[in-house]
Amino acid sequence: MSLASMIQPEVVAQFYHAVLTVVVVLITIGLAVVLIRWVWRLIAESESPSVSREDLCDRAPKIWGKEGLWRALGALWVLDGLLQLQPAMPNYAFLEMVIAPNLLGQPGWVVRVMGWGIQAWSNAPITADVVAVFVQLGIGLALLAGRWRPWGRWALWTSLFWGLFVWILGEGMGGILTGQASLVIGDPGSVLFYMASAGLLLLPDAMWLAGQVRRGVRWGVVGLWLWGALVQAWPGAGFWSGPALGTLFQNAAQNAQPLWLSGPIYATAHWVTHHGLVANGVIVGMMSLLALLWAWRPYGRGTMAVTMGWLGVLWWLGQDFGVLGGVGTDPNTAPVFALLLGTAAWSQKPLADVPALRFIPWFRAKRGAETLSVERGRRV
């Protein structure tokens, strides 16, 4: 059954009407809040001096990796919220093509828990999808706009709870209990990386600058690559059989997309199907090699280059970029994994030491003021 045949125009119309209604309500509330804050600020400034520009500069981000992760995580949540606006989402196509396949091979208790979520969504699909849209957009926008505000941390905590909900009910715990999980197709689930990112951002700056985040991510990456190699090599998963391994790539190729994107995936699926033993050996060997590289020379140029290259291959051939096909809910695991690695590599880099930012006038003026302050302190 094609995706178009699963989409009911009347359901889509009702969904977009509900979304528009919520947007109007939120804009009205937002304008009211802005007006109240503006009046309150006028009253406060008349009674006490305003905050100086220098004070605001002191609150600027100090760690390049943490700042980059914060912004990128916010953008990813916004993207996920926008993807939930696709016409297939409030229709049963979303449940049949995205959620239901995650039930295969799950233990009984996971099937029951996921069944509860599927039933709840089926009872009110439009309401459920509207909630998903605005929760994810809310998390993303709060992160982007609240870097130095309390609601930024509230958004991080919300993302942890929402992420756990999505990971269990939507992703079936990343397939880790099915016996057929594979890092090739994005297991143990992209939202798990979202949650890991939120957890890192909740850590104090001292842990970032002391290298604890860098070390923690390093050994987490080693463990993840070892897990990926083990589940790929596990005989019970059946990946040493060409047809079973080829199915992983075949499923990605079948998504609606341009031929120049699907062609290489079909070619890979065809080759893997006829050379399953060799293909799975290459996959297991690459993951084992990456585990060794991260244990031996973490964050080295060679290690980073090989890792990013392999993640790029998996993102295209195994995960089909995540967002294609009309029912994609996120970019999948590979880009979020790569984001975490880049973040950890820059986790001890003060923002003032990033050369590219010296071309920004505000940053150059701020840096000059900091240098002058240091020089005055030395003279004293």
Structure confidence by residue, pLDDT tens digits, 77-123: 999 999 999 999 998 888 988 999 999 999 999 999 999 999 999 99
Q: How far apart are CA 117 and CA 166, in angstroms?
A: 10
List phi, psi (to 5°) of 159: -65, -30
Q: Provide the pLDDT for residue 226.
A: 98
Say what the pLDDT of residue 373 is.
40
Summary mean pLDDT of the chain = 86
* Range with the poorest average pLDDT among 47-51, 73-77, 122-126, 154-158: 47-51
Domain boundaries, given as residue ranges, for the chain: 8-37+66-346
**Confidence band of 47 (pLDDT split at 50, 70, 90):** low
* 231's tokens: 């589940």
- pLDDT, position 351: 56
Q: What is the pLDDT of residues 210-266, one digit of tens each?
A: 899 999 999 999 999 999 999 999 999 999 999 999 999 998 888 878 888 899 999
pTM exceeds 0.75 for this model: yes
DSSP calls for 50-71: PPPHHHHHHTS--BHHHHHHHH
Q: How far is CA 76 from CA 3, 63, 164, 191, in A?
A: 25, 20, 16, 10
Asked if 134 and 81 count as a contact pair (C-beta separation under 8 A), the reply is yes
Report the pLDDT value the prediction gives residue 371, as an integer from 0 to 100. Answer: 41
pLDDT band at 6 (very low <50, low <70, confident <90, very high): confident
pLDDT of residue 374: 34
Assigned token pair, 348: 């001890």
**CA–CA separation, 329 vs 325, rounded Å?**
10
> What per-residue confidence (pLDDT) applies to 58?
45
d(CA 344, CA 104): 35
